[in-house]
Amino acid sequence: MNQTLEKKQLRSVMLGAAFLMATSAIGPGFLTQTTVFTEQLLASFAFVILISVLIDIAAQLNIWRIIAVSGKRAQDIANDVLPGLGYVLALLVVMGGLAFNIGNIGGAGLGANVLFGIDPKTGAIISCVLAVGIFVVKEAGRAMDRFTQILGFVMIALTLYVMFTAQPPYGEAALRTVAPLELDILAIVTLVGGTVGGYITFAGGHRLIDAGIKGKEYLPVVTKSAVTAIGVASLMRILLFLAVLGVVSQGLKLDPGNPPASVFQHAAGNIGYKIFGVVMWSAAVTSVVGAAYTSVSFIRSFSPWIDRHAKKFIIGFILISTLVFVIVGQPVKILVLVGSLNGLILPLALGVMLIAAYKARIVGDYKHPMWLTVVGVITVIAMALMGGYSLINGIPQLFK
């Protein structure tokens, strides 16, 4: 792609990357985490959201800017920093992406079950066919961009409606954003991990590279896209938080088996339950697409053959995830282990980016903003400690 991309084309790619990253973050786990933490912390969860959004933006800006300036994908930057490290990072991302995709395809099946009353496995297969269809078309990148944007808008619009029907205490939520009654560090780290952890932050960064957005001259576009992505994911989180707060403030109890579904049902009755089906399906199927695309982007540069057949690998990735879900269901122990390992991806990748930012052979004469470095280092330390903690706790679960 030439240096002077048309403005319209730039805007399209920028939004495409932003929505791919945001909808990758908004998956079944995102809906459940937000609901459960709101039920526990009530209005004080607003402060947790605020802090996590600030950390998300700093982490994402660090990663996307270095990817864009170097013109390389994260695994290649890691190999430049320390030979072999890129292969470790790629392995962690692909393992995490595959494990979470089994959960995502299960979530799509659950959404279809709520909407049409069909068996979740049948719903998962139909969702798989649709996701695969995106990568069969010639302009797969554009189709993926449009798909994630449409479903992203659908999720936000429907959750906005449910939020209004739930009648949350807006004043209390606004007050607790800056003056929380309680602080939960675990909730902050969980939210950061759920928004920019694992493969998620790279979804948009690698999409920009694939669309030819690389070099210092594109940094304003990259920055705008990165912030927009966090903005979209955070807007969805805020709307869902307010909807849950409205329901629990009325003293209504949530179903522990499916907390988000009961929020939508309490707020808007049977229509609310069907809306949950649409939101769950949209959240899950866009995460299926994002996880498959991003995981394969981590192995493309290791072989020209893989690069040439990237779309086939993405389709294979989606098919394997679906097959495992349909035959095995959710392999709980594997998910626990990979979920624990997943917590190490952000500190490892962000740490690599911060080192790369100061190596001229990788970024040329680019000068990385000091404030991004400082916030990045703090994030690496916090997420590494939390990732280690979750790994130590996760491993014993395998032997129970």
Strand, helix or coil for residue 215: coil
Q: What angle do CA 363, 364, 367 make, to 5 degrees?
A: 75
CA distances (Å), 277 to each of 128, 243, 285, 302, in order? 17, 16, 12, 39
Predicted confidence at residue 138, as pLDDT, reads 87
- State the virtual CA torsion across 347, 348, 350, 355 in degrees, nearest 10: 130
**Res. 192 pLDDT band, cuts 50 70 90:** confident
pLDDT (0 to 100) of residue 274: 97
* pLDDT at position 294: 97
Are 109 and 121 in contact by the 8 Å Cβ rule? The answer is yes
Cα torsion at 90, 92, 93, 99 (round to 10°)?
140
The whole-number pLDDT of residue 154 equals 97
The pLDDT mean for the chain works out to 92
More confident residue, 1 or 126: 126
Is 387 a residue whose pLDDT tops 80? Answer: no
Contact 182, 46 (CB under 8 A): no
Provide, rounded to the nearest whole percent, the portion of the chain with pLDDT above 70: 94
7-11, 143-147, 365-369, range with the lowest pLDDT: 7-11
Identify residue 241 by its one-letter amino acid code.
F
User: Do 74 and 298 touch, CB atoms closer than 8 A?
Assistant: yes
Q: Tens of pLDDT along 219-277?
A: 999 999 999 999 999 999 999 999 999 999 999 999 988 899 999 999 999 999 999 99
**pLDDT over threshold 80, residue 330:** no
398 pLDDT tier (thresholds 50, 70, 90)? low
